[in-house]
Amino acid sequence: MNKIIIIGAGITGLTSAYFLKKPYEVLESKQYAGGLCASYYKDGFTFDCSGHFIHINDEKIKKFVNRIAGGVFEVKRNACIYIDKTFVPYPFQANLSYLSDKIKKDCLDGIIKRKSVDIHKDMSFLNWSKSMFGDGITKYFMEPYNKKLWSYNLNKLNATWVGQFVPKPDAEDIIRSASVKNKKKYGYNSVFYYPKQNGCGALIDGLLKKVKVNFNSKTTKIDIKNKVVYCKNGKCYKYNKIISTQPLLELLKQIKSVPKSVKITSEKLLYSSVRCINIGVKSTKGVPEILKGKHWIYVPESKFSFYRIGIYSNVNPKSAPKHCYNFYVEYSSFSNIEYNKNTENIIKDLKKISFIRDDDKIIAHSTVDIPYAYVVFDKNKEKSLKEINDFLIKNNIFSIGRYGAWEYSFIEKNISDAKNLVEKLNYL
């Protein structure tokens, strides 16, 4: 029987299957489900594939997530920036009073002397930031942080992604924040949710109660003429439609007879990769005083190779055994080319800045590589995506999810996009 084939059992693929009212098969390359939303257990700790905190605005999705994950709790974000040996509350640009006099003056001068230019999203990220926040805020935070996060030339990266991800307080608020502590909450994630048990993976466990997955079923070839998907394990499936959540570039490589122009276009799609190091620490003193209560910390300075750390056990104490704490450290590279920094150097740096005390004992650590982590927003992206999707949709292939749609998305959007697509397919 012809079915809808869903490639990938991450949050997008599983949600699609969950709401689909037609016969389907979910094909997952790994032996476990969840993709980046999977959690795993090591030496008594619960780790995500880098912190996966659930930001939700839509009430219906909140209810869905709460039900599926077996209960989530609400957390008021406590995020900050570590710079110049100081912690500045997030967002940097709305909390200048925490900075040294020199940095504060540079940031204030920058915002006051901003050139009045027509701010638009197609400008380079660097010019966008200078026009929006001035030279000082760009120099101390926006430029060094984003250079580390994207591992890509900020003159070529545009600003079409900033939307909800970069809070934009107005100039008056920024200037006031240099003398008065700012009480306003900024950004889409000032409140977030996290499962009561089992990390972000609780969401996946819940979906698996209803959705059946074919594990170890990596798709390798798609014959769009005869409508057959082939897997590495030797099995093949006839289909009438495909919902693919694997990275778009990988999907295109598997399709026989992709037009040359689409192939050339796809070569213009760029991405950066992330390595996440998960660390579990034992100490009778618990988490170091300077990290107490903090959920995640942005680290813009170039002397540190990592751009962000997050403390799971500050979000949910159940993530770590008694007298222990656990966190993640993230650093990036361009297109998987090099993950040159090793765990030992990172641990040395973390000790240097007292995020781990000298007498604390690291009792668990492991590495999660995320080859496709952030898709690059440059002048080619939008046009390329249109051409690729026109070709795919014409062939009954719907490429969705963070890497399928080739976007900067998150769990809430993945759930909503999967549900919306499937609701349409249910009636076709």
Ligand X SMILES: Cc1cc2nc3c(=O)[nH]c(=O)nc-3n(C[C@H](O)[C@H](O)[C@H](O)COP(=O)(O)OP(=O)(O)OC[C@H]3O[C@@H](n4cnc5c(N)ncnc54)[C@H](O)[C@@H]3O)c2cc1C
Piece of the chain touching ligand X by CB under 6 A; list 67-75, 113-121, 243-251, 383-391:
243-251
Of residues 244 through 303, those in contact with ligand X by CB under 6 A are: 245-246, 250, 274
Instruction: Kindly write out the interface string for residues 24-63 of this chain, putting x where it contacts ligand X by CB under 6 A and - elsewhere.
Output: ---xxxx----xxx------------xxxxxx--------
Binder of ligand X out of 158, 219, 314, 399 (CB under 6 A): 219
The verdict on 77 binding ligand X (CB under 6 A) reads no
User: How many angstroms separate the CA atoms of 90 and 294, rounded?
Assistant: 11
Of 158 and 409, which CB lies nearer to ligand X in the complex structure?
409
* Shortest distance (Å) from residue 251 CB to ligand X: 8
* Shortest distance (Å) from residue 245 CB to ligand X: 5
Applying CB under 6 A, what is the total number of residues that bind ligand X? 36
**CA-CA-CA-CA torsion for 310, 312, 315, 317, nearest 10 degrees?**
-150
Of residues 384 through 403, those in contact with ligand X by CB under 6 A are: 401-403
In sequence order, what are the beta bridge partners of 74? Answer: 193
Tell me if residue 427 falls in helix, strand or coil: coil
- Would you give the end-to-end CA distance of the chain in angstroms? 17
Residue 70 φ/ψ region, left for φ over 0, alpha for ψ in the -120 to 50 degree band, beta for the rest: left
User: How many angstroms separate the CA atoms of 235 and 255, rounded?
Assistant: 16
**What tokens were used for 109?**
């001068």
Piece of the chain touching ligand X by CB under 6 A; list 74-82, 117-125, 343-351, 406-414:
406-414
Closest CA to 162 of 153, 171, 150: 150
**What tokens were used for 345?**
């150097």
Name the DSSP letter for residue 212.
-
Binder of ligand X out of 166, 258, 279, 411 (CB under 6 A): 411
Of residues 307 through 366, those in contact with ligand X by CB under 6 A are: 330
Interacting residues with ligand X (CB under 6 A): 7-13, 27-30, 35-37, 50-55, 218-219, 245-246, 250, 274, 330, 370, 373, 401-403, 409-411, 414
